[in-house]
């Protein structure tokens, strides 16, 4: 038996569910679920982003709800087809309330990348990697 690699949902603990829902809607992402239940989801190309109250998520996990730090050791990535698309996606996110963390720029590995933080400080990378093809469904394939 192995543990299946069926990564389906990332749940983000948030301080203000309404604010976070408004932010992800403003990004243009499809929302599912009724936030009055205390949790809601947003569709991404291959997974879902769940939004749940920070303390409720800590309680569900069974750990103390310590305040989050600025850098949490994790980033989430949005991959796009071109440098122009990456720059536009980053600018749009900042325009709807994201905090710019690292302005997109060419990378040493031949791509283009920048970071923004959502209202709770969750870090998102917007990147164009010319070596990761993106099919119509928006998923990426990392070559062997």
Spell out the domains of the chain, with CATH numbers in brackets.
1-61 (3.10.180.10), 70-139 (3.10.180.10)
For 55, residues 6+ apart whose C-beta sits below 8 A from its C-beta are 13, 65
pLDDT at 28: 97
Instruction: Find how far residue 8's CA is from the centre of its chain.
Output: 13
67, two tokens: 């305040």
Tell me what pLDDT residue 33 has. 93
Q: Are 87 and 129 in contact (CB under 8 A)?
A: no
Q: Distance between CA 37 and CA 47 in Å, rounded? A: 21
Per-residue pLDDT at 119 exceeds 90: yes
Kindly state the average pLDDT of the residues 130-144: 89
Could you tell me if 13 and 68 are in contact, meaning their C-beta atoms sit under 8 angstroms apart? yes
- State what percent of residues in the chain have pLDDT above 70: 100
Asked if the model's pLDDT at residue 141 lies above 90, the reply is no
Question: What is d(CA 64, CA 93) in angstroms, rounded to the nearest whole number?
Answer: 31
**What are 90-100's pLDDT values in tens digits?**
999 999 999 99
Across the range 99-122, mean pLDDT stands at 97
What pLDDT digit, counting tens, does each position of 71-96 carry?
A: 889 999 999 999 999 999 999 999 99
d(CA 33, CA 41): 6
- Average pLDDT of the residues in 14-39: 96
Query: Which of 83, 80, 125, 68 minimizes the C-alpha distance to 101?
Result: 125
């Amino acid at each position: 038996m192995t543990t299946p690699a069926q990564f389906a949902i990332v749940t983000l603990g948030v301080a203000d569910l309404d604010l976070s829902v408004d932010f992800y809607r403003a990004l243009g992402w499809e929302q599912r679920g009724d936030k009055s239940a205390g949790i809601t989801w947003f569709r991404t190309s291959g997974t879902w982003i769940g939004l749940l109250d920070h303390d409720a998520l800590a309680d569900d996990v069974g750990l103390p709800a310590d305040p989050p730090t600025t850098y949490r050791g994790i980033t989430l990535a949005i991959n796009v087809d071109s440098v122009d698309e990456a720059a536009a996606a980053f600018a749009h996110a900042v325009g709807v309330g994201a905090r710019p963390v690292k302005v997109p720029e060419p990378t040493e590995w031949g791509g283009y990348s920048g970071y923004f933080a959502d209202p709770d400080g969750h870090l998102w990378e917007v990147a164009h990697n010319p070596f990761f093809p993106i099919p119509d469904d928006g998923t990426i394939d990392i070559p062997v």
